[in-house]
Amino acid sequence: MVWKRPSFLPTLDELEQKAQDRSSQRSRPGSLFDHPTAKAVFVAVLVVTVLAHVVGAVVFLLIGF
């Protein structure tokens, strides 16, 4: 028995065309992030990391060595 692909799914040709269209679009020169969500997550993690280190340093200095 052969299963039929649902008609709402894109064909392989359509998927290939979309992939080629996406790869032809280049991001801004000097940009390391192709996706804005990835950049936002990176910045958020960076801010949390810096804040955690600053708070840890302050606590460490208040408690002492």
pLDDT in tens, 24-53: 777 667 677 777 888 899 999 999 999 999
Q: What is the pTM of this model?
A: 0.54
Position 24 in a domain? no
Q: Is residue 52 included in any domain, yes or no? A: yes
Neighbouring C-beta atoms of residue 39, cutoff 10 Å: 13
Domain that holds residue 43: 35-65
The SS3 assignment for 10 reads coil
User: With contact defined as beta carbons under 8 Å apart, do 34 and 27 qualify?
Assistant: yes
- Say if 42 falls within a structural domain: yes
Is the confidence at residue 23, as pLDDT, over 90?
no
Q: Tell me if 58 sits within 8 A of 52, measured CB to CB.
A: no
pLDDT of residue 3: 80
Enter the DSSP assignment of 34. S
The predicted pLDDT at position 11 comes to 85
Task: Please give the average per-residue pLDDT across 46-63, as a whole number.
Answer: 96
Q: What is the largest CA-CA distance in the chain?
A: 74
Note the helical H segments in 1-65: 12-24, 36-63
Q: How many domains does the chain have?
A: 1
